[in-house]
Amino acid sequence: MELVITAKVKLYPDFVQKAQLIETLKAVKAGLNHASRVAYDNGFITSFKKLQKMTYSDLRQQYGLKSQMACNVCSVVAGSYASMKSNGEKTLAVYKTPKFQYSYGRDYSFTKNGMLSIGTLDKRIKLPFEIKGMKQYFDGSWNFGTATLIYKKDKFFLHIAVKKETPILEDNSVRNIVGIDFGMNFLAVSYDSAGKTNFFEGRHIKDKRAKFTKTRKSLQQTKTASSRRRLKKLGNRENRWMTDINHKVSKALVSGSIEGTLFVIEDLTGIRSQTEKVQRKDRYYSVSWAFYQLRQMLEYKALRSGSKVVVVDPKYTSQTCPKCGHTEKANRNKNTHTFTCKTCAYTSNDDRIGAMNLQRKGIEYIAEVMLSV
Ligand SMILES: [Zn+2]
C-alpha cells in the first residue's frame, strides 16, 4: 500500500525572494479568479482543454504566469467546476487562497547543498528551508509528490506530499492483537494479547468539551454578526484541539505496541444497535469526523510501524462477558462502572470490558481468515 503523508517544511526566503514568492502567489490567485470567471460566463466549463483554449494566452500575457502555472490554473478551475457540477451547484468559484500544485522536478526540487529550488514568475530561486520533525522523509526512502506553497502570518511553508510503498501486515504475521475501546471517562482503553490493559485518561477532555459546548450555546443565543464570527472561531479552535488529541492518542497507541500488531476498533460511524444504546453526547467521538480522523491517523501510523487496523461491528461489546461469552444488559452497572457477569461472576471495570471484547473479536477475525485459506 502507498503511504502518503504531508511533510511541512518552513522556508527562509531573503527579502527579494519573499517579494518574488508573494508576487507569484498573487498572480496565481488572480489567474485562478480570471479563469473561474471565464468558465462561469461561458456556460460552466468543466473541461480542462476547453478552458485552456480560452484562457491560456491571457494567463501568460496579462497575468505573467509561466506555461506550467497557466496549465495548472486551468486544471484547478476545471476541477472545481466539475465537482460543483456533480454536486448540483451552479455558483461562481472564488479563490481566496492561491491553490497551486508544484510538481516535483518540474516546479520544485532540492539541491545538493540542501537548498529548495522553486519556480516563481521571474525564474527559479534557491532558498534555505527547515525540516525539523520531518527529517525521516528526507532519508531517501520517500518519493516527493506535489507540493503547495503556503503563506501565513508572514511566514512561508511548503507542504509536500511524500509517498512510500509500504507492505501491509499479512494476517498470518500478526503477533499481537490489541482491542481499543473509545469512551469518555477514558478516552481510550486498550487490551493486548499479553493481557495488559492501558487506560488513556479522558476526564480533562470531557471538562474542556463541556466548556466549548457552554460557550457555543451562549454565543448561539446572541444572534449578532460578532457572535457568529466568534462562533466560527470557536469551532475552528475546537477542531484544532480535537485533531491534536487524535494525534496524541494514535501516537501513544501505536508506539506502545510491537511491530506486527493488529489493532481492533469498533465502527462508531454507523448507528449502534437498538439493544445497546450508548449516549452519544457522553462520548468524545460523538462527532463523526473526529472519529474518522482518528481512524485514519491510527491506520497510517500503524502501517508505518508494520502493524494494521481492523474495524469491527461494535454490537454487544459492552454487555458480553469476555470470559464465558454470556451476553446480558444487566452484566454492566453504569453507575458503579463495574461489570459483573451474571453467569460466571467475572468482575472488572466496565470500560475495560469493551477493549477485552474487541481484542477477542480480533482473535476471531484472525481465526476466520486462517480457516478460509
Ligand atoms: Zn461470564
More reliable by pLDDT, 299 or 2:
299
Using the mean position of ligand 1's atoms as its centre, give its distance from the Cα of residue 64 in Å.
74
pTM higher than 0.85: no
Residue 317 pLDDT class (50, 70, 90 cuts): confident
Using the mean position of ligand 1's atoms as its centre, give its distance from the Cα of residue 34 in Å.
69
Q: How far apart are alpha carbons 330 and 318 in whole angstroms?
A: 11
* Phi and psi, residue 152, nearest 5°: -140, 130
Using the mean position of ligand 1's atoms as its centre, give its distance from the Cα of residue 359 in Å.
16
Residue 291 pLDDT class (50, 70, 90 cuts): confident
Cβ atoms of 110 and 116 within 8 Å: the answer is yes
Residue 279 has pLDDT above 70, yes or no: no
Using the mean position of ligand 1's atoms as its centre, give its distance from the Cα of residue 320 in Å.
8
Mean pLDDT value across the chain = 89
Using the mean position of ligand 1's atoms as its centre, give its distance from the Cα of residue 323 in Å.
5
Q: Which of 97-111, 267-281, 292-306 has the lowest mean pLDDT?
A: 267-281
More reliable by pLDDT, 313 or 183:
313
Using the mean position of ligand 1's atoms as its centre, give its distance from the Cα of residue 261 in Å.
27
> Any idea where the domains of the chain sit in the sequence?
2-165, 171-207+247-372
State the pLDDT at residue 287: 60
Q: How far apart are alpha carbons 150 and 326 in whole angstroms?
A: 56
Cβ < 5 A residues, ion ligand 1: 321, 323-324, 326, 341, 343-344, 346
Mean pLDDT of 232-237: 91
Residue 271 has pLDDT above 90, yes or no: no
Using the mean position of ligand 1's atoms as its centre, give its distance from the Cα of residue 202 in Å.
28
Using the mean position of ligand 1's atoms as its centre, give its distance from the Cα of residue 342 in Å.
7
State the pLDDT at residue 200: 87
Using the mean position of ligand 1's atoms as its centre, give its distance from the Cα of residue 349 in Å.
14
Can you tell me which residue has the cell 463495574?
338
Residue 288 pLDDT class (50, 70, 90 cuts): low
Mean pLDDT of 304-332: 90
Using the mean position of ligand 1's atoms as its centre, give its distance from the Cα of residue 332 in Å.
12
Residue 197 has pLDDT above 90, yes or no: yes
State the pLDDT at residue 130: 92
Using the mean position of ligand 1's atoms as its centre, give its distance from the Cα of residue 285 in Å.
29
Q: How far apart are alpha carbons 70 and 58 in whole angstroms?
A: 9
State the pLDDT at residue 274: 38
Using the mean position of ligand 1's atoms as its centre, give its distance from the Cα of residue 141 in Å.
50
Q: Which of 67-71, 325-329, 334-338, 361-365 has the lowest mean pLDDT?
A: 334-338
Residue 155 grid coordinates: 511566514
User: pLDDT per residue over 37-67, tens digit each?
Assistant: 999 999 999 999 999 999 999 999 999 998 8
Q: How far apart are alpha carbons 202 and 184 in whole angstroms?
A: 6
Using the mean position of ligand 1's atoms as its centre, give its distance from the Cα of residue 330 in Å.
12
Identify which of 178, 183, 180, 184 has the alpha carbon closest to the alpha carbon of residue 210. Answer: 184
Q: How far apart are alpha carbons 231 and 218 in whole angstroms?
A: 10
Residue 273 has pLDDT above 50, yes or no: no
Q: How far apart are alpha carbons 366 and 261 in whole angstroms?
A: 12
Mean pLDDT of 26-32: 95
Q: How far apart are alpha carbons 116 and 286 in whole angstroms?
A: 43
More reliable by pLDDT, 345 or 183:
345
Mean pLDDT of 228-256: 92
Using the mean position of ligand 1's atoms as its centre, give its distance from the Cα of residue 322 in Å.
7
State the pLDDT at residue 270: 53
Using the mean position of ligand 1's atoms as its centre, give its distance from the Cα of residue 333 in Å.
15
State the pLDDT at residue 125: 95
More reliable by pLDDT, 315 or 60:
60
Using the mean position of ligand 1's atoms as its centre, give its distance from the Cα of residue 344 in Å.
4
Using the mean position of ligand 1's atoms as its centre, give its distance from the Cα of residue 371 in Å.
27
Fold observed for domain 171-207+247-372? Nucleotidyltransferase; domain 5 (3.30.420)
